[in-house]
Amino acid sequence: MSGPAISTRGVTRDFKAGQQTITVLHGIDLDVKAGELTFLVGESGSGKTTLISIMCGILWPTLGEVEVFGTDIYDLSDDDLVEFRLQNIGFIFQQYNLIPSIDAASNAAVPLIAQGMDRHEARKRAVAMLEKLNIGDQAGKLPNQLSGGQQQRVAIARALVHEPRLVVCDEPTAALDAASGRRVMDLLREVAVAEDRACIIVTHDNRIFDMADRILVLEDGKVTHDGKHMPEDH
Amino acid sequence: MIWIAIRMLTGDPQKFFGLVFGIAFSTLLITQQLTIFVNLLERGASGVYNVSSADVWVMDPVSRTTDVAYAMPSTALDKVRGVPGVEWAVPHIRANASVRTKDGDLEGVAVIGVDDATLIGLPKNMVEGSVDVLSQPDSVIIDDVGTTRMFPDASPIGERLELNDQRAVIRGIADAIPSFTSTVVLYTKYSNALNFVPGTRNRLSFVLVGKADGLTSQELVDRIEAETGLRARTREQFARDGVDFIIENTGIPLNFGITVALGFIVGVAIVGLTFSLFIRDNIKQFGALKAIGVTNGTIRRMVAAQAGLVGLIGYGLGVLGTVGFIYAFSANPTFKGFYIPWQIPLISLVAVTLILALTGWLALRNVLKTEPASVFR
Ligand SMILES: Nc1ncnc2c1ncn2[C@@H]1O[C@H](COP(=O)(O)OP(=O)(O)O)[C@@H](O)[C@H]1O
Ligand SMILES: [Mg+2]
């Protein structure tokens, strides 16, 4: 694969807060490569969630361009952008947002079902993904019958089941103790990182910083560091 | 995705049943009240429907319905018989009277005198006894609803009544459509009725007419009116007059209208609230679906499927409930002969569709407004 997985050029985002406008991102220029576990790190409020939302096509930048695997995603029509996300992006939400009344396998199968795949075929693939994540035996359980960690694995399975080229993940370890947090990161590295797939993780959890291939530090809406390790002063 | 939408809904039994209940309740209220309304209105035409063989009713120009009639001189009968196109014409008397029962109770009744020779004017069917009993002196036939009213415990056959101080004996029971007020009706021969009803002249209420082949009822009506100066109405017109009289002279349309409107409003309120709560509870899931890649169009179809399922079940239960109600009360004389005209379930279906379209649209607005980016918040 040639070229970066994601490239942002001059991405700026404003929010209206009452009378005044605050600029959360100031002209972000970034390239994210496939095959790497990329961390987006920064203090709370530094703009991490805003940036990752823009990079995965769910939040419009005020200015600038975003290309994902060569597609200028904010040049697409609304429906084409939705379709682009469905085909190319896997989401792991902080609150998992599983559907409470369908079982783990069906939850994990949602992107395939949304793509129009037959429900039984989709479930079969979802069960295979759950097995890969070591919760194959929980496939028939409803979300509320699972532990928090198991629910997160279902959410990870849902993000990967349709083999997207970009996986985004907001604060995956925030609610976990140190050991579980590291286990989840190991798992993500194992299943979410691939030759032709980019994986971006937003975090401010310093217990896992050593597990990144690349760390981007965001401060007040600007990228202030880019490297394999965290800068000394952090 | 439709499957997921349905599971989202049924996975929340409380709200699901709340929605179904709201729709069922609205359907029941609207269907049941409209059914009673229409059937009650039709009672205004029962006097006409009970005499199925008359094509045209002829009356004094001021008469309005079978029950609001001004008597004519008996010469009117001959005038009508002289009009070309009149196949037959018979006298018909309708009057109010009081009877004293054996126990001494006083009851207001309607006395209907039918043609002595042909017995035209009697209801088509008998519940007990034969129409021939009228040939015996002082005989009357009581209608079935009157029977349950005046003789709830025992058969009225052979009972003696004092009818405006005249002796009358019940010898049969007719199968009749009850009147709007469910008044007890006593049928007797015209000649007998003249004895039961006080007064000396002008006691002919109607002339019932059968038309000859080759002309329409309306043509005959025009001809009779032109030649006799009396008022004539076709069977259908006169039935309609009876219904209109009730509409114009009672608060019934307004009262039923209010109840039906309430059924609609309560439906909107219950379903609207529950639907909105359901959507709000699932807004995170909907947001996640939107982020993952479900279009607003598909979200619309999902909510429509949820509304459709609720509507189907709720509407079915509501209509079944109405049928059950009519069935359960079919033995009650007040509800005798009640049926559900096909237009009524259609009307409540439209009402239910409106309720769901309105509430579904309101609930949907929140989902469509949800930014996919909100899932990371
Ligand atoms: N929808 C919004 N409306 C207004 N302000 C917002 C909105 N989203 C984010 N912000 C503001 O943008 C800034 C960065 O937020 P965010 O990207 O969530 O940071 P982080 O994820 O690093 O904590 C914060 O000051 C936040 O209040
Ligand atoms: Mg954040």
A94–B288 C-beta distance less than 8 A: no
A41 CA from centroid of ligand 1 (Å) = 15
CA of A52 to the centre of ligand 1 (A): 12
Closest ligand 1 atom to residue A52 Cα is 17
Nearest CA to ligand 1 atom 26: A45
Using pLDDT thresholds of 50, 70 and 90, give the confidence band for residue B99: confident
Bridge-based pairing of strands B106-114 and B166-175 is unpaired
pLDDT at B199: 74
Q: What is the pLDDT of residues B7-61, one digit of tens each?
A: 999 998 999 999 999 999 999 999 999 998 899 888 889 999 999 899 999 999 9
Q: How far is the CA of B120 from the centre of ligand 1 (A)?
A: 89
* Poorest-pLDDT segment among A7-21, A174-188, B109-123: A174-188
Residue nearest to atom 7 of ligand 1 (CA): A15
User: Would you say residue A1 has pLDDT above 60?
Assistant: no
Q: Atom 5 in ligand 1: which residue has the minimum CA distance?
A: A15
Q: Tell whether the model's pLDDT for residue B235 goes beyond 60.
A: yes
Checking if the pLDDT of B320 tops 60, the result is yes
Q: Which residue has the higher pLDDT, B333 or A91?
A: A91
Q: Cβ of B372 under 8 Å from any chain A Cβ?
A: yes
For residue B18, give how far its alpha carbon lies from the nearest alpha carbon of chain A (Å). Answer: 17
The pLDDT of residue B200 is 66
Tell me which residue has its CA closest to atom 10 in ligand 1: A15
pLDDT score at A37: 92
Which residues are CB-contacts of B166 (< 8 A; sequence separation ≥ 6)?
B138, B195, B196
For ligand 1, whether the C-beta of A49 sits within 6 Å is: yes
- Band of residue A194 on the pLDDT scale cut at 50, 70, 90: confident
CB contact, 8 Å: B375 with chain A?
Answer: yes
Query: In this predicted structure, what is the pLDDT of residue A2?
Result: 62
Ion ligand 2: residues, CB within 5 A, are A 49
Tokens of B374: 């909100």
**pLDDT for residue A229:** 84
- Mutation to test the A interface, candidates B1, B3, B4, most A Cβ within 10 Å: B4
A15 lines ligand 1 (CB under 6 A): yes
Contact A115, A162 (CB under 8 A): yes
* Measured distance CA(B150)–CA(A51) in Å, rounded: 86
> Worst-scoring range by mean pLDDT, A5-14, A202-211, B176-185, B191-200?
B191-200
Please determine, for residue B217, whether its predicted confidence score (pLDDT) is greater than 80: yes
Kindly state the average pLDDT of the residues B169-183.
Answer: 89
Task: State how far the Cα of B370 lies from the Cα of B293, in Å rounded to an integer.
Answer: 14
Whether A111 sits inside 8 A of B8 (CB atoms) is: no
User: Residue B111's Cα: distance from chain center in Å?
Assistant: 24
Amino acid at B26: S
> What mean pLDDT is reported for chain B?
90
- Contact of B289 with chain A, judged by CB distance below 8 Å, is answered with yes
Q: Is A203 in the pocket of ligand 1 (CB under 6 A)?
A: no
> Confidence band (pLDDT; 50, 70, 90) for B375?
confident
Which residue shows structure tokens 């419009």? A60
- Helix, strand, coil percentages (3-state) for chain B, rounded to 5, are 55, 20, 25
> From the CA of B144, how far away is ligand 2's center (Å)?
80
- The model's confidence at residue A233, banded by pLDDT at 50, 70 and 90, is low
Q: Is the pLDDT confidence value at A181 over 90?
A: no
Q: What average pLDDT does this structure show over B111-123?
A: 92
Average pLDDT over residues B90-119: 87
The band of B93, judged by pLDDT with boundaries at 50, 70 and 90, is very high
**Measured between CA atoms, how close is B28 to chain A, in angstroms?**
30
* Confidence at residue B329, expressed as pLDDT on a 0 to 100 scale: 86
- pLDDT tens, B346-364? 999 999 999 899 888 888 8
Average pLDDT, integer, range A61-67: 94
Section B137-148 average pLDDT = 89
When pLDDT is cut at 50, 70 and 90, the band that residue B161 belongs to is confident
Q: What is the 3-class SS of chain A, one letter each residue?
A: CCCCCEEEEEEEEEEEECCEEEEEEEEEEEEECCCCEEEEECCCCCCHHHHHHHHCCCCCCCEEEEEECCEEHHHCCHHHHHHHHHHHEEEECCCCCCCCCCCHHHHHCHHHHHCCCCHHHHHHHHHHHHHHCCCHHHCCCCHHHCCHHHHHHHHHHHHHCCCCCEEEEECCCCCCCHHHHHHHHHHHHHHHCECCEEEEEEECCHHHHHHCCEEEEEECCEEEEEECCCCCCC
- C-alpha neighbours within 13 Å on the C-beta side of residue B305: 16
What percent of chain B has a predicted confidence (pLDDT) above 70?
99
With 80 as the cut, is the pLDDT of residue A232 above it?
Answer: no
Indicate whether B338 pLDDT > 90.
no
The 10s digit of each residue's pLDDT in B246-270 is 999 888 889 888 988 998 898 888 8
**The two structure tokens encoding residue A93:** 């939400």
State yes or no: pLDDT of B311 exceeds 70: yes
pLDDT digits (tens, 9 = 90+) for A161-179: 999 999 999 988 887 888 8
How much is the pTM? 0.80
Chain A interface with B: residues with Cβ < 8 Å: 49, 52-53, 58-59, 79, 82-87, 89, 91, 93-95, 97-102, 106, 110-111, 113-115, 119, 158, 170
A60 lines ligand 1 (CB under 6 A): no
Average pLDDT on B191-208 reads 85
Q: Which atom of ligand 1 is nearest to the CA of A50?
A: 17
Nearest protein CA to atom 12 of ligand 1, as residue: A24
How confident is the model at residue A234, as a pLDDT?
61
Interface mutation vs chain B, best among A24, A52, A53, most B CBs within 10 Å: A53
